[in-house]
Amino acid sequence: MKRTQARITYCVVGLLVVCAVSYVLLIKEERARPAASPETKVPDHVAEVAGTKVGKLDQVVVDEMDIVLAESVEGMEQRVYEERLKSARGFAAQGHVHELDWEEARSVLSAKDLPELYALLRDPACKDDWRYIAQLIGYLSDHGNETSVNALFDYFRRADDWSSARQDRVASFAMGMGKIMALEWIGMVGGETAEELLAELLEPGGAERLASAWLPETEFAYPGKQAHAIDSIRGRAATGLVYVESKDGAAEIERLYQEEYGRCVARGLPTTHFLNELVSALAVRDLISDIGIEGRFRLYGKHDFFEKLHPYIMKYLPEALQRRDVQDD
């Protein structure tokens, strides 16, 4: 119904624009045409005055119609943009410009849009938008929606066509991160299936096995090659387990953090990529304990999220990095 109304609106506006253009062109054509010789001689001073008045009137009409035309086109473009944002794919495409806002997404779209999003997530024509489509599935799904969890896990696990990104490091990285971020959205949906999958992906063997279809494609895209990608997978799985509020998952994240922290100290390293991932997950956990899980979700798309998270991150950073962070401030 909404799409039908939108089409009618566009047709009406389009008709007005066509009429406006035709009228402006007609006036301009009439003004450019040589005047016919009148049968009755009009005094020169009268013709001059009349011509001036008509010329001014024509110009006013042309100017006003130009303004109406410009406003009509601008208004139509704005309405097209607004209608596009109300569509699932149109809203997802905003992710190329800015972070998708959780609250805005849930005010414009709903769980009724999920079947369309599932289909889009498998449509090769939407390949460039998949990472944002997956994000919307996480935003819009009810807790424990297994259809959503399965759709997101299928997106994470499947090979997909990397041929266009194989020689493009940025594109390859983006494709990999889209899949990796799907683990965070799986955690956002939650439920037993989500918890089981994320717990398996938190382990290095599980991460490597479940991502085996596409992991080799990331070899040149990530600074630390496949090992870097595996650490990112485990890190997003950790954040997903925080969202699931898994007690076993929380204990395992703590254990892994202490283990990786000790390894950094023993080797004299300031940090590692995996330690950074665990620090982020623990910081999000503590933030949620203060503002609630929905409070955390509301921060998606907000510019002050990292500012709010920063104090929690500082609690878990190695001392050397904490001192450096204070100096930078």
Long-range pairs of 300-306 with CB within 8 A, sequence gap ≥ 24: 300/99, 300/100, 300/101, 300/102, 300/139, 301/98, 301/99, 301/100, 301/101, 301/102, 301/103, 301/104, 301/105, 302/101
Range of 16-20, 58-62, 151-155 with top mean pLDDT = 151-155
Q: How far apart are CA 50 and CA 57, in angstroms?
A: 11
Task: Using DSSP, state whether 233 is helix, strand or coil.
Answer: helix
Q: Which residue has the tokens 């955390």?
A: 296
Q: What percent of the chain has pLDDT over 70?
A: 71
**b/e map of 81-119 (b: 16 or more CB within 10 Å)?**
eebeeebbbbbbbbbeeeebbbeebeebbeeebbeebbe
Taking 50 as the threshold, does the pLDDT of residue 318 lie above it?
yes
Find, among 185, 192, 105, the residue nearest to 151 by Cα: 185
pLDDT in tens, 253-275: 999 999 999 999 899 888 999 99
Taking 50 as the threshold, does the pLDDT of residue 154 lie above it?
yes
pLDDT in tens, 77-130: 554 455 556 799 999 999 999 999 999 999 999 999 999 999 999 999 999 999
Q: Binning pLDDT at 50, 70 and 90, where does residue 186 land?
A: very high
